[in-house]
């Protein structure tokens, strides 16, 4: 009788399932897929401020690929994404390892270490922009410590602005990685560590031969998620540098925003957006192929 009920569950399955997921899928289709195709449609047109448009074929794409600013945006985006991801992973892993030990107040510390995550990008950006101000904390502290001898205009210096933003973003973004890695660290079986200690393994050996293999999968997932997020980052860059100085930190998302809402070139912006999406898609596919698991 029990199995009859289970069979009944299974046969009616397909149709009821669709009822449950239909609203969500419908919403997502209308509101993700449709705009994406609309964006592609717009990228082939020249669109005016009043939304009137005419078809111009590949002109937007040709212009984008010839525009040195677009190439610079691509380069900046790559540099930013890879550096920020590397730092996030490093810091996140370090702090996760630290929090993985058992000590009193560990839960409180975990909450404290998560705090940059709940602050908004705008607020975080504003703090760091203020700290990087020529009269701000950074200069004062570094001069006080004797590291530098003069006031540096961090955000106005082309080769300093990008590292500055990356540091700021590391402070803001590491909790995301930290929490994923902490969860995966907790899944490593304790017995293996105990056996290793019996065999006389050092801390480093324990890390290398037990910890690393077990967290490898989640580490790669965290890296992928970080890359995806960092590639499209907008707000922090907008608040801290707004692409400056002289486009040194102008990433793709910023550039697309600028072309749309400051230069009112909707079609051109749409084309750059399509290019950006294709590149990120390619990156994702490349990543999964290389680390296929």
Q: Which of residues 45-74 bind another protein (CB under 8 A)?
A: 51
Q: Interacting stretch for another protein, rule CB under 8 A, among 4-12, 57-65, 79-87, 194-202?
A: 4-12
Can residue 85 be called a binding residue for another protein (CB under 8 A)?
A: no
User: How many residues in the shown chain lie near another protein by CB under 8 A?
Assistant: 84
Tell me: does residue 263 bind another protein (CB under 8 A): no
Residue with Cβ nearer another protein (5 or 159):
5
Cβ(92)–Cβ(221) below 8 Å: no
Binding status of residue 291 toward another protein by CB under 8 A: no
| By CB under 8 A, residue 155 contacts another protein | no
Query: Is 145 among the residues that bind another protein (CB under 8 A)?
Result: no
Which CB atom, from 88 or from 129, has the smaller least distance to another protein? 129
Quote the CA–CA distance of 232 and 234 in Å, as a whole number: 6
**Residue nearer to another protein on the CB measure, 133 or 159:** 133
Q: What does the buried/exposed string (b/e) look like for 36-48 if buried means 16 or more CB atoms within 10 Å of the residue's CB?
A: eeebeebbbbbbe
Work out which of 55, 209, 261, 263 binds another protein, going by CB under 8 A. 261
DSSP codes of every residue in 119-160: S-HHHHHHHHHHHTSTTSHHHHHHHHHTS-SS---GGGSHHH
Instruction: End-to-end CA distance of the chain: give it in Å, rounded.
Output: 41
- Return the residues of window 169-198 that contact another protein according to CB under 8 A: 171, 179-180, 183-184, 186-187
- Looking at residues 213 to 242 of the shown chain, list those that interact with another protein (rule: CB under 8 A): 218, 228, 231-232, 234-235, 238-239
Both tokens assigned to 243: 């692409």
The residue among 136 and 245 lying less far from another protein, judged by its C-beta, is: 136
Residues 150, 155, 156, 159, Cα dihedral to 10°: 90
Of these, 74, 78, 193, 257, which contacts another protein (CB under 8 A)? 257
Collapse the DSSP code of 245 into the 3-class scheme (helix H, G, I; strand E, B; otherwise coil) and give the result.
coil
Contact with another protein (CB under 8 A) among 48, 65, 120, 212: 120
3-state class (DSSP) for residue 47: strand
Tokens of 228: 């995806």
């Amino acid at each position: 009788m029990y199995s009859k009920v289970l069979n009944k569950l299974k046969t009616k399955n397909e149709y009821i399932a669709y009822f449950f997921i239909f609203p969500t899928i419908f919403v997502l289709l209308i509101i993700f897929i449709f705009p994406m195709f609309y964006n592609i449609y717009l990228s082939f047109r020249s669109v005016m401020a009043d939304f009137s448009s005419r078809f111009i074929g590949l002109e937007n794409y040709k212009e984008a690929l010839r525009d040195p600013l677009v190439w610079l945006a691509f380069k900046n985006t790559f540099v930013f994404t890879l550096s920020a991801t590397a730092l996030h992973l490093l810091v996140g892993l370090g702090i996760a390892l630290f929090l993985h030990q058992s000590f009193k107040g560990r839960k409180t510390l975990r909450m404290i270490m998560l705090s940059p995550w709940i602050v908004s990008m705008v607020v975080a950006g504003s703090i760091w922009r203020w700290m990087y101000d020529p009269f701000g904390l950074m200069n004062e502290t570094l001069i006080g410590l004797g590291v530098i001898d003069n006031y540096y205009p961090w955000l106005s210096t082309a080769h300093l602005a990008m590292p500055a933003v990356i540091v700021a973003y590391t402070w803001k973004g590491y909790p995301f990685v930290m929490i994923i890695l902490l969860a995966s660290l907790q899944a490593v079986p304790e017995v293996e560590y105990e056996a290793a200690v019996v065999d006389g393994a050092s801390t480093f050996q324990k890390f290398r031969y037990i910890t690393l293999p077990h967290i490898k999968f989640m580490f790669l997932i965290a890296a992928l998620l970080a890359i995806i997020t960092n590639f499209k980052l907008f707000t922090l860059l907008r608040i801290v540098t707004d692409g400056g100085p002289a486009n040194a930190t102008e990433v793709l998302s910023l550039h697309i925003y600028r072309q749309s809402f400051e230069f009112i070139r909707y079609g051109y912006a749409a084309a750059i957006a399509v290019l950006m999406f294709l590149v990120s898609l390619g990156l994702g596919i490349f990543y999964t192929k290389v680390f296929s698991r």
